[in-house]
Amino acid sequence: MRHRLKDVAERAGVSVKTVSNVVNGYLHVKPDTRARVEEAIAELNYRPNLSARNLRKGRTGVIALAVPELDIPYFAELARHVVAAAADHGWTVLIDQTGGRREQERVAAAGIGDHMIDGLIFSPLALTADDLAALDGLPTVLLGERVDHGPADHVAIDNVTAAREMTAHLIGLGRRRIAAIGDQRTPEGASARLRLAGYAAALADAGIDYDERLVAPAPVWHRADGAAAMRQLLASGVRPDAVFCFNDTLALGALRALHEAGLKVPDDVAVAGFDDIEDGRFSVPTLTTVSPDKEQIARLAVELLAGRLAGDREAPPRELTAPHHLTPRESTHP
């Protein structure tokens, strides 16, 4: 039997309006009254009719998450956290893969389809702040580094500091010829530029000269690109004693190339990554990495979106920084 608001009200000895206020999270309900209503809800196992509530508010109860690639484990793991955070608001999440293509990102930024979604959490690679400013109306929270201080709320980690800390970690282990894999000199390579800046800053802090020969490009950040970049470094004659890869999938590829070359990790070459994907916890050796708080990134994004949907539409865009930490594992510690 599905219970109604009226049944909860009768059990708690309050009005239907009071029950509605509690269910919808209004703050002006007295604590003792709220407690009685919540107890009645639990006893009756009452579940709100979310479809009816959304219809009354002119909403769908659906938000979207648009990311460049679900093949990149970081985005798949982030999506899981977004779905969990959205469930706390009774929302369903529509997940879209843009491929980092401008036209597909424009479709996502425009709302994917008329009246299909209430809001968007978006990690763009190709769109500019001007592109996003021209597509107004849909509450949007941006992730990543492509557009910051732009027309929408933004959540990111401090990539420069994180990369600087990881490079300093490698230097602290006595490594001096530290390579970097993942350089991108394109408009889409904002994360790469920030991580390269942190890498260079840590070298400068330690009095180590920046050597362009130790910086290997990767057009995309897949395992095969990491392996190819590592082979290129080994063939160049500039033998690194450590490698900082700008994401974990690049690092996993680098580990494979080092194994093929007969080099031991970390004895001959220490390897570090970025993102703390699950694969790195089971690689041989396990992978030292920068660990962004993906759960916190997701929760911050969802809460910012919830605030906009609750009526806070006119406040200026907010910039929030999620925490990170280093996770040393076997690839840098014998």
Please report the pLDDT score of residue 62 as a whole number. Answer: 93
Please report the pLDDT score of residue 45 as a whole number. Answer: 83
- How confident is the model over 51-91, as pLDDT tens digits? 445 444 556 899 999 999 999 999 999 999 999 999 999 99
Please report the pLDDT score of residue 159 as a whole number. Answer: 97
**Architecture of the domain spanning 60-155+294-322:** 3-Layer(aba) Sandwich (3.40)
**Architecture of the domain spanning 159-292:** 3-Layer(aba) Sandwich (3.40)
Cα 110 from Cα 305, distance rounded (Å): 16
Cα 329 from Cα 93, distance rounded (Å): 34
Please report the pLDDT score of residue 186 as a whole number. Answer: 87
Cα 289 from Cα 114, distance rounded (Å): 41
Q: What is the largest CA-CA distance in the chain?
A: 81
Please report the pLDDT score of residue 80 as a whole number. Answer: 97
60-155+294-322 and 159-292 have identical folds:
yes
In the numeric block, the tokens 């910051």 are attached to: 148
Instruction: Please measure the distance between the N-terminal and C-terminal CA atoms of the chain and give it in whole angstroms.
Output: 61
Please list, residue by residue across 242-276, b when 16 or more beta carbons sit within 10 angstroms of its beta carbon and e when fewer do: bbbbbbbbbbbbbbbbbeeeeeebbeebbbbbbbb
**Architecture of the domain spanning 5-44:** Orthogonal Bundle (1.10)
Q: How many CB atoms lie within 10 A of CB 164?
A: 21
| Residues in the chain where the model's pLDDT stays below 50 | 51-52, 54-56
How would you class 40 by CB atoms within 10 Å of its CB: exposed for 0-12, middle for 13-18, buried for 19 or more?
A: buried
Please report the pLDDT score of residue 310 as a whole number. Answer: 86
Q: How many CB atoms lie within 10 A of CB 110?
A: 14
Please report the pLDDT score of residue 58 as a whole number. Answer: 54
Please report the pLDDT score of residue 135 as a whole number. Answer: 60
Kindly list the domain boundaries of the chain, sorted by start residue.
5-44, 60-155+294-322, 159-292
